[in-house]
Each structure stands twice: as C-alpha cells, then as structure tokens.
Amino acid sequence: MGRDLYLTEPVFREQIDHCCTLLQPHLQRDLRDLLYPDAHAAEAATEQLQQTAMTQPALFVIEYALARLWMSWGISPQAMVGHSIGEYVAACLAGVFSLEDALALVALRGRMMQSMPTGDMVAVSFSAEALQPLVPPELSIAVINGPTTCVVAGEATAMEAFRQELTRKEINYQQLHTSHAFHSPMMQPLVEPFTDRVQQIPLNAPQIPYLSNVSGTWITPEEATDPGYWARHMRQTVRFADNIAQLLQDPAQILLEVGPGRTLSTLVNLHPQRNRDQVVLTSVRHPQEEQPDLAFLLSTLGRLWLAGATIDWTAFSAHERRYRVPLPTYPFERRRYWIGTPRHGTTSSTTARRSLSIINELDQEDEPQLASTTNGTAIMSPRNWKEEQIAAVWQKFLGLSHIGIDQNFFDLGGSSFTAGQLVVELSQVLQTNIALQAFLKGPTIAELAERIDVTEPADTVTASAQTGPSVHALIKIKPGDDTLAPIFLVHPIDGHVFFYQDLADSLNTNHPIYAFQSPALAEEHEPLEQIEAIAQQYLVALQSIQSEGPYRIGGTSFGGLVAFEMARQLRTAQQAVDLLFLIDTPATNQPIVPLQDDADILAFIGNHLLSLNGNAVSAHELRPLPTDEQITYLLQHMQNGSDQTRTRTQLQQLMRVIQSHQTAMLNYQPQPYAGRIIFFRAQETRNEEVQTRPEHFWLDIATGGMEVNPIPGDHFTMNQHPQVQRIADYLEHHLKHMELIVK
C-alpha cells in the first residue's frame, strides 16, 4: 500500500492524511492504523483490511492519493477507467462528486455490502456469450475481464451446482476467496436504499472522460448524474473487457495503472486487441519485488518520459533542497551513449531511428551502444562478455534477434514454461550455479549479470560444455548458508521447478533451497517411466550437493511421489532423512488432475504454464483436432516473443515428459516407510469426482507416523501467495525444532 511513498512523498502523505481524516466519522477508526500498522499490529490489521467495509475505502484512498501525486508532477489523465470501486476514484477526479461525498459513499457502500448474506464468486475461463446459457437465475456474470475471462457470483448452494456443471463440461474455473457475491442478485436489496443516499449529494457532469463499467463505453453526463446509475453499478456486471477494448483503439495512448498492484495492467496485456507497441505501466511494485516503492515509482516516471509524456520537473523537485557541489574534471572522450531528449507527445519510431543515425554520424569510430525499438525508445546492447552470453541464451529461448540489457524477460513473452530451462542453460554456458531466485529478482540481462559472479573463461568452448542428466536435474532456487543442510524439492508432473518459487520466497530460512527439474525437458534426454528410476537419478545429483544425511526432501503432487521414493531409498541405504513432506500428493491410481489424452495434457500446459493472450483453453475444444493442430491452436494463442518452431518442439517434448510421468505415477507401488511424513492437504477441490482426502492413501504406508495439515486453496492455489505462507510456517516450525534437537 505504498508505505515508502507515505514516508517520503509529501503530496502522497497529505492526500492519505486528508482522506483518512474525512473517513474517520464513517469508519469509526483511523484507516492509517490498518494501512501502515506497527509490526505488532500487522497481522490484526491485515485481517481487518480483508473486510469489505475496510477494503473498499482503503483502495479508494490509495488510488486517489497516487493519482494526485502523478497529477502534481504534471501527469494528468486524458481519460480514465476504474474497475468496480476504481470507477468512484475516476468519477471523483473528473468532478462528478466532491472528495468528501465520494468517501462517504464508498464507506457506506462497503458497510452495506458487508451487511448482506455471504456468497461465492468463481472465475471461469469461458467467454461471456458461451457462459451465459449455463448460468442459473440465482447467479449472474459479475465481471467480464477478458474475451474468455469471467467471474460468476451468487448464492452458495446454487454456486455448488454450477461448479459441478462446469466440471462436467470440462470448463476451467477457480474459486475466489471473497466473503460476498459482489455484482450479483445478492446485491439487489441494496439498490433502492443506496439510490436514496446518492440523491442527497450534488452530482456534476464529468470534466475528464472516463469509461463506465456498466455500459462498457464512455460515461455520459446523464449516467454520471443519475443516482440510480451508482446503485446499479454495484449490482450489474463489470464490463472491464469492453473498457479495455475502447482504450486499445488508440495504440498511441500510454496506459498507467494507478493503484496497489498490477491486476489491471495484466488484463490489458492479455487482451487480444493489445498492440505490441502499447505502453502499459504500473505505479506500485508487486509485493514480492524487492525494491523500494519510491524507486519503482521513479522508474515508471522515467519510462513515462521516454514514451513522450510531459513532466513538470519544477513541481517534481519542489520539495527538494538543492546545493551547488564541486565535480571532478571530465576527460571528454567524445563518445555519446544517449539519444537526447525525446520530442514530447510523440513516440514515432522514425524519430528514434533519426536520433540514432545522428549518433552514428558523430561517432563513426565507435560502435553505438543503442538500438531502436518499435515504440521509439532505445535499448542498450550488451556491454561485456557476461551480458553477451546471457543475451545469446535469451535470444535463443525467446526467438528474438536483439534484446536490450534492461528489458524484462517476462515482458518479452517469457514464462514459467521457459524460465527453468533458461536457468539450466545459463548455468551450463557460464559454468556456475545460478539460483532461479536470482533470475526472478533480476529478470533483465543487466540485473542478472550483476548477480552472477563469473569471469570470462580462457577457453570459451569449456563454458558451454555439456554435463550429465543428474547435474541438469538440480537448480538452486534460493541461496542460503551453504554450511546448513539444504532443502530439496521435486518438480510436479510437468517437470518444471518454477512452481516452487512462491514457497521459496515465503520460507524465512538460511537453508539453501534446491529443486529438481526433469532432465527430459531437454531434447537430448529421454523421459523415464518409473518412479524408482527417477528417484535414483535425482539422488546422484542430490549427493553431489550433500554427501551425507540428514536430508530434507519434499514435493507437491507428482513430486511428492518421487520425494517419497528418494527418502525411502536413502533410508534403505542407512542415510538419515529428518524431514519428508508431501504437498497434496494423490493416490498413485487416482490423480487429482486427470490427463487421459493429448487434449487434457495440452489444456493443462496452456492454462498452467504458458502465457496466453487472455484465452484459457479447455480439453473439450482441443479434442476434435489432431494433436499437431492442437499444438498449433495453442501456439496461436501464446503471447508475443516466442520462436514458434522452437516452442512447438518444446511443447512436444513437454507432452512426452508429462505422459511419461503419468505412466510412472500409475505404475508406482509405494512400499512402507518407517520415517515420519508431513502431509499438506488442500482444503478445496477442483474436481468433485476425485477424492478430496488424498492423505488417506498414505496412512497405511507411513508406518513411522504422519502429520496432516490442511491448507487453504485448491491443488494449485495452495502453493501460491498468500496460502503458501501456511505451508512455509509449518516447515519453518519443523526446521527450528530439528535445530533445537541438534543443539
């Protein structure tokens, strides 16, 4: 929620303070106690912020304060769009109602919604048109976020029957963690009393254009000044996909998300109408990004300037105190590294090429460090051997001919589908063990090069020498104290390690964390079809890092089976295993996610590994096509930046890996295990036809005892923030207990 900005930016702090003062009579408390609590009150504040009556005012206040900060720097909107409560911020900035009245309405809206009976909301990967006939009268489509991304809301009993119907039709869905069914029939009783309240305040025609969630197009003066509109707004569907489509009609617009997060930017980036050249920026860092809020905001300010936005630099520095300081003399090397100030208001690629050509004329004896991009900015080329090596691997994986050292891997079209393999290949090329976490925290060539301590080899051939499958199998995903026993995680059925990043980030421990990635993801290695053989292969890699026990091993789903077999083989070899944990690992004959044919496998890959252009896929739509056409269909829906030939080969190899792992799982017969097993079970189910208590399968096998811990979320979301923190807390408790025993 921008704590750093509150401490360092006077305008932001003034707006937060003013809003919270105005809200106190309506909330009966100071909202700042929840936004920026002391350490001892943080947990209670987080719990209270999850209440609708507090969530909605908090969102409004942060968005409004950020908007006013941008506007104080000369960044004023030509148009606006908000998502649900965000439309109130847009309307307030446009002058429809005063700040005092807006805050009063938002506080009332939150209280009224929280007072209603609880309900359910489900995100569904289906188009609104195709989904509408399936939605019963008790439910409604509450949100349309994309062409194939909707949210259905309503009463819990009706929702249960609806989820069963989605499962029967093989339509992907995800239960949302909300207390109430917003924008559904359950909000209908609030329409009349809320209309009466809005009638008591003055409403004005908007002075800045903004988009209506209700109509999906530009708000009209009649709508903005109609009290009934604001009541219907909390009952009717949020047509955000239509709002995005309106904005994307002008690719020259810069889209800036103003709020705590990047959800809206993600929806824009996934929209199929988005032009590659469209500039989409965010104001606040993701909670997992390790950089100050102010540094992130200033980076966005710089990118706005590069894109041609006009900045009021006098206002920007108004709160600073300037000094004249002596500087060292400069040798005047007559080399230029910049393209000069861009023409404000233009993002023409012709302008960028013209600026670049001037550099070449001035410095013909020097190779330029910049290359033009299609949106008129410039990208910096590699500056040394290390950056050249990293850039070459990135170009290979992303299918791009040139990548700037400051361009983000994921913005270029990278995904978990390629991240793990890319780290493996980089480790081989640079002959060093690169932690996946180092890559994720520095997903640009320049940042990653700074994090890697390696020098140019005398013989560059040795730098790309191949190693055996067991070395390929192991990736360090989080560094730590190498004198401590590592934690080893085994990949899920798709063979990738990226799935564990949230868990690794959540673990507050100095123990290094390694993950096994399937060597068969590389074309030169054939996938194994026996759990025992996979475990043997991974034990070779494990013991190259830790030669003797005690060992700490775990895995989710399929990875739990391999982790179990590794622990069993270690104990058979008289090696100690003091921690074995399985995360929702199913019975070997009853997988939680059925993958019965190519269509099932490709739908699983598309929805969980690939970056798709807003289009989730279902096995039902793929199954009528031949396998090769199914792959083509998936490729056509992938985000930009992918080498189609290479990606097709990767998809085919990944299908073989999943098929082999499925075979290995079905053929595996676990033997009794005398050690203790820690089991984490998902509290929610994705498929009503599959058993929801997989730990029952392991009770007879775990002869040394078993501890079962229920975790919020389903088979997938339990491994993601914030649910995964519960798993991390349990593991930290066990690690501390083991350390006490050792002492």
**DSSP-derived secondary structure for 298-318:** HHHHHHHHHTT----HHHHTT
Residue 465: pLDDT band by 50, 70, 90 thresholds? very low
Annotate 328-337 with b (16+ C-beta within 10 A) or e (fewer).
Answer: eeeeeeeeee
Residues 6 or more apart in contact with residue 512 via CB below 8 angstroms: 476, 478, 479, 480, 481, 482, 484, 486, 487
Summarize the confidence of residues 502-514 as an average pLDDT. Answer: 90
- Which of 330-334, 624-628, 664-668, 724-728 has the lowest average pLDDT? 330-334
Give the position of tokens 């097993």: 677
Identity of the residue numbered 244: I
Using pLDDT thresholds of 50, 70 and 90, give the confidence band for residue 43: confident
| Burial of 28 (C-beta count, 10 Å sphere; 0-12/13-18/19+) | exposed
- Core vs surface per residue 483-497: b (16+ CB within 10 A) or e: eebbbbbbbbbbbbb
| DSSP character at residue 40 | G
Contact predicate 145/127, CB 8 Å: no
Distance separating the N- and C-terminal Cα atoms of the chain: 41
Q: Taking residues 192-203, report their average pLDDT.
A: 95
pLDDT higher than threshold 80 for residue 371: no
Question: What are the tens digits of pLDDT across the range 56-70?
Answer: 999 999 999 999 999
Omega of the bond leading into 550 within 30 degrees of 0 (cis): yes
Higher pLDDT, 223 or 496: 223
Q: Which helix (H) or strand (E) holds 379?
A: strand 378-380
Beta-strand relationship, 173-175 and 120-124: antiparallel
Q: Report yes or no: 197 and 206 within 8 Å, Cβ to Cβ.
A: no
- Mean of pLDDT over the chain: 83
Mean pLDDT computed over 274-295: 82
pTM of the predicted protein model:
0.53
Query: What's residue 437's pLDDT?
Result: 67
154 and 140 in contact (C-beta within 8 Å)? yes
Give the per-residue pLDDT at 370: 46
Give the pLDDT confidence of 318-336 residue by residue, as tens digits: 888 878 888 777 776 666 6
Work out the pLDDT band at 522, boundaries 50, 70, 90: confident
What is the per-residue DSSP string for 124-176? ESS-HHHHGGGS-TTEEEEEEEETTEEEEEE-HHHHHHHHHHHHHTT--EEE-
Contact 555, 561 (CB under 8 A): yes
Distance CA(661)–CA(733), nearest Å, equals 32
pLDDT digits (tens, 9 = 90+) for 474-497: 888 888 888 889 999 999 999 888
| Candidate ranges 128-137, 392-401, 597-606, 645-654; pick with highest mean pLDDT | 128-137
Residue 626 has pLDDT above 60, yes or no: yes
Provide the pLDDT for residue 333.
67
Q: Please report, for residues 557, 589, 660, 685, 701, the alpha-carbon distance to residue 694 in angstroms, rounded to integers and kept in the order given.
A: 10, 11, 22, 11, 13
Q: Which of helix, strand or coil describes residue 9?
A: coil
Alpha carbons 31 and 713: distance in angstroms, whole number:
29
Q: What is the pLDDT of residue 525?
A: 75
Residue 355 predicted with pLDDT over 50: no
Residue 453's alpha-carbon distances to 430, 441, 444, 450, 458, in angstroms, are 10, 16, 16, 7, 16
Is the predicted pLDDT of residue 377 greater than 90, yes or no?
A: no
- Give the integer Cα–Cα distance in Å for 178 and 184: 13
Q: Which of 371, 368, 381, 441 is nearest to 408 (CA)?
A: 441
DSSP β-bridge partners for residue 107: none
The whole-number pLDDT of residue 13 equals 95
**pLDDT class for 588, splitting at 50, 70, 90?**
confident
Cα separation, 174 vs 192, in Å, equals 32
